[in-house]
Amino acid sequence: LAEEACVRSPLQKQQSLPLRPVIPLVARISDQNASGAPPMTVREKTRLEKFRQLLSSHNTDLDELRKCSWPGVPREVRPVTWRLLSGYLPANSERRKLTLQRKREEYFGFIQQYYDSRNEEHHQDTYRQIHIDIPRTNPLIPLFQQPLVQEIFERILFIWAIRHPASGYVQGINDLVTPFFVVFLSEHVEEDVENFDVTNLSQDVLRSIEADSFWCMSKLLDGIQDNYTFAQPGIQKKVKALEELVSRIDEQVHNHFRKYEVEYLQFAFRWMNNLLMRELPLRCTIRLWDTYQSEPEGFSHFHLYVCAAFLIKWRKEILDEEDFQ
């Protein structure tokens, strides 16, 4: 298929480590191990075939791809679909291979140009904060505790911060790399991504995963950068918008918060800063991002409705609660 020719390395998919630590369900990236997955239903096969037809056409119909992706993207085609939905890959299938090659080279040009400056005095605080935050990223998942993975994340975050001086690095941005990294890694891993030892991959494959994660995270952040500029005005506005939305759709919950002097900023700041990634298992975040990337303003506007849906889902528990400390 055309999309596989563009994005998949000729490297055989790797197997995960033979000795696998038990990971709590909340930290599992897959709903179940790939080896134990049930056979596809007829409906799932039909959906997958629809995606493959769209992706292999000369010019992928992006509106149709968004429509198909909204209810979830099949794992097999998620990497190329995300590259397209994020605007990183062109719709024209003939241009994709050259685009990937050019953008990956451009990213590693940034590494050569900027990465050594992390030790310079005016960048030391940025690098130090990144270095502190990365081990805290998904601490329950062995994949993210590997030194090589942490080095990749440090480079991605530092280069992004240097190239976006209006915001620089802000805590929370580190979380936003992980879904892209996992999805692009999954092209080369047969099962149990959370346990996979990345030293089994070739240097070229790792470089591709790193560069693609950087560019797709950058595309995402282009739409919500005011969340991370001085005083984080984007988050302040979104929390206020959430408050207004909840007051319209569930006045009882809204009034309950007011009665007990609960400010939306107290609980919703993190929901906006981390896009709910601290509230959801990573596998659920990945599924949610299928939909976010299918929406015109998924990570900003549509995200508010997801946050409101959380409050409505647990409205009974909220209304029964009187002590919010």
Same domain for 215 and 73:
yes
Same domain for 312 and 185:
no
Report CA-CA distances (Å) from 161 to 164, 174, 257: 5, 11, 37
Same domain for 214 and 240:
no
CATH number for the domain spanning 40: value is: 1.10.8.1310
Q: Is 9 exposed, middle or buried (0-12, 13-18, 19+ CB in 10 A)?
A: middle
Tell which of 199, 222, 245 closes a domain.
222
Does residue 325 lie in a domain region?
no
Query: What's the number of domains the chain is made of?
Result: 2
Does residue 309 lie in a domain region?
yes
- Rounded CA-CA distance 157/171 in Å is 11
Same domain for 255 and 306:
yes
- Rounded CA-CA distance 36/60 in Å is 33
Residues 6+ away with beta carbon under 8 Å from 10? none
SS3 5: helix
Query: Would you give per-residue pLDDT tens digits along the chain (325 residues)?
Result: 444 444 444 444 454 444 555 566 556 676 544 444 567 889 899 999 999 999 999 999 999 999 999 999 999 999 999 999 999 999 999 999 999 999 999 999 999 999 999 989 889 999 999 999 999 988 889 999 999 999 999 999 999 999 999 899 999 999 999 999 999 999 999 878 989 999 999 999 999 999 999 999 999 999 999 999 999 999 999 999 999 999 999 999 999 999 999 999 999 999 999 999 999 999 999 999 999 999 999 999 999 999 999 999 999 999 999 888 7
Tell which of 195, 222, 249 closes a domain.
222
Q: Is the pTM of this model over 0.75?
A: yes
User: Which domain does 163 fall in, by range?
Assistant: 2-222
Same domain for 215 and 237:
no
Q: What is the per-residue pLDDT for 31?
A: 52
Tell which of 222, 241, 273 closes a domain.
222
